Amino acid sequence: MISFDFITDENFRKNLQNDFQEMEDCYKAKSWKAVHVLSGSIIEAVLIDYLIGEEKVSRDNGLKMDFGEALNMCMNNKIISEKANNLSSVVKTYRNLIHPGRMIRVEEKVNQSTAEIARAVVSIIVDEIEIKKQNAYGLTAEQIVSKLERDSLAVGIIAHLLTRANSREIERLLTSVLPERYMEVLNGEFTQQHVIPVFNICYREAINLATNEIKIKAVLYLVRAFKEESDQVVSAYATAFLRASDLSLVSQKDRVLVKDYLLNRLKNDQSSDIIIALDGIAKILETNDIMKFVDPLIIASIRGDGGARNLLQNEACKVKEDLNKLIFRRLNEWINHFKKKEMIHEAEIISAIKNEIDIPF
């Protein structure tokens, strides 16, 4: 199936996807006239979207253009090849069959052969416009996500793909396209195993590349989900995309909301996902957070969880001086607790963690 991921106008893209599917259904049903009409409609929309996107024409004027006008402008501006123009002219003629009496006046005939030509022209035009669009505009957010899904080795070129997208598409990727597609894939019946971790990596790469303004919009998008979406969405976003370090970009109120969620979840879930999400939390910890932060990580560390141990050690080095002292006090309380229970091995683990923390004062 042809992909319209290069179309920047969301409404255009959805309509094109629907029209293309309908055209294919009509072909299977041997509705040859409908195939011609729909193929012309698709080609017209693709050409007009490009003209508007490249500011060859204003949006208002572009939406008023008919097939012939769009075709001529694209040909005059060397947007499409002469071959594509000639073939599209044929489709334009057949598309006129929709007008009353047209078929009788010109005595045109439509059949499977002409329908196949119409479908082929759609493919030719889409291919040419997609290449032009990539060269002039860069990759769309949809194209990046589609590439990640289709290519199991795409993880190695994520940085390259992102550099080929402009700031508008990076923003769309972070604030709608990638998170929404992530949930669709997560809930899908058939999911390529490589997709979920690749999406996670892509999101962080895009955040690192984004301007500060776009970073703020991306984090606010996640915060909105915490406030409005279901537990499933919140849980998915928290572990797939969010990092505690990102919360410095939002208001104190929003920061506390998400921080409390992460710490409350940590109490019952010390999985690698939540450990990763807590990266950078040192900067936003307060006095009443210390036990919520330290205790679950101590328990996980005793179980042999290296990720939890590393998080505790790394973040303890970065907190404010007064909080660092509270962390040390809590570690000492755990050590004394285990010694009283004659759990020497556990006490030694906590002592080792304590000794490995660099004191910043």
Question: For the CA atoms of 330, 336, 340, 344, what is the dihedral angle to 10 degrees?
Answer: 110
Distance from CA of residue 139 to its chain's centroid? 13
Range scoring the smallest mean pLDDT among 15-19, 49-53, 88-92, 251-255: 88-92
Side-chain-side CA neighbours of residue 323 (13 Å): 21
Local confidence band at 16 (pLDDT 50, 70, 90 cut-offs): very high
According to the model, what pLDDT value does residue 96 have? Answer: 59
Rg (CA), the chain: 28
Other beta carbons less than 10 A from residue 14's beta carbon: 12
Per-residue pLDDT tens for 82-125?
888 888 877 776 665 555 555 444 556 788 988 998 899 999 99
Range scoring the smallest mean pLDDT among 5-14, 173-182, 324-333: 5-14
> Mean pLDDT over all residues of the chain?
89
Using a 10 angstrom Cβ sphere, with 0-12 exposed, 13-18 middle and 19 or more buried, the burial of residue 299 is: middle
- Whether 175 shows a pLDDT value over 60: the answer reads yes
Question: Cα separation of 308 and 140, whole Å?
Answer: 38
For domain 10-136, give the fold. Four Helix Bundle (Hemerythrin (Met), subunit A) (1.20.120)
CA atoms 61, 67, 68, 74: torsion sign? positive
Per-residue pLDDT tens for 273-326?
899 999 999 999 999 999 999 999 999 999 999 999 999 999 998 998 889 899
Per-residue pLDDT tens for 276-289?
999 999 999 999 99
Contact yes or no for 285/246 (Cβ under 8 A): no
For CATH 1.20.120.330, list the domain ranges present in the chain: 10-136
- Whether 199 shows a pLDDT value over 70: the answer reads yes
Contact yes or no for 205/159 (Cβ under 8 A): yes
Local confidence band at 126 (pLDDT 50, 70, 90 cut-offs): very high
According to the model, what pLDDT value does residue 277 have? Answer: 93
Please tell me the pTM assigned to this model.
0.78
According to the model, what pLDDT value does residue 136 have? Answer: 82
Question: Cα separation of 330 and 166, whole Å?
Answer: 48
Identity of the highest mean pLDDT range in 5-9, 70-74, 133-137: 70-74
CA atoms 306, 312, 318, 324: torsion sign? negative
